[in-house]
Structure 1
Amino acid sequence: MIPPPDIIVRKVREARLGLRIDEHVRRYRMYLKSGLLGKAEEELQDADNLAWQISRWDEGWHNL
């Protein structure tokens, strides 16, 4: 059985956000190793914001 289109769209968006989170974490580690703590903190905050968006979808907030 094929899931409804809105479920497919949500899963695709979650996957894309997950990839973006991974990229922010990768850059966070790079900046941290380089001693650029301000930039590292920005990347970590960006990753946290994306994770928050995913959690809101799980709670039913689909219009982000």
Structure 2
Amino acid sequence: MEAIRALSVVRKSAVKARTQTIDHIRALMVTAHSAPRVKLRGLLAALLIDTPADPADR
């Protein structure tokens, strides 16, 4: 039973970290130059996290 509780805590923590990451990326998009902003606009959260930064967009 303790293992299930531990897994629940870990999952809750991972979900919170993912949400914070998405929020942070979206906040950075507000101040980004137009090229990366256009590239990332409208992407689903999972794709937003998986899309690598492109130094050429700076």
TM-score, length basis structure 2? 0.56
Task: Map residues 12-51 of structure 1 onto 2, 5 A cutoff.
Answer: 12-31=13-32, 36-40=33-37, 41-42=39-40, 45=43, 48-49=45-46
Task: Map residues 1-16 of structure 1 onto 2, 5 A cutoff.
Answer: 4-16=5-17
**How much is the aligned-residue C-alpha RMSD, in angstroms?**
3.1
Equivalent position amino acid for 1:12 in 2: S
Greater radius of gyration (CA) = 2
Alpha-carbon distance in 1 for matches of 2:14, 2:31? 26
How far the C-alpha of 1:38 sits from its partner, in A, is: 3.1
Return 5+ residue gaps in structure 2 as ranges: 49-58
Where in structure 1 do 4 or more consecutive aligned residues deviate above 4 Å? Answer: none
How far the C-alpha of 1:37 sits from its partner, in A, is: 3.3
- CA deviations over 1:16-41 (Å, ceiling 9, x no partner): 1111011111111112xxxx333113
Q: Structure 1 vs Structure 2: percent identity of aligned residues?
A: 13
TM-score, length basis structure 1? 0.52
In the alignment of these two chains, the number of paired residues is 46
Return 5+ residue gaps in structure 1 as ranges: 52-64
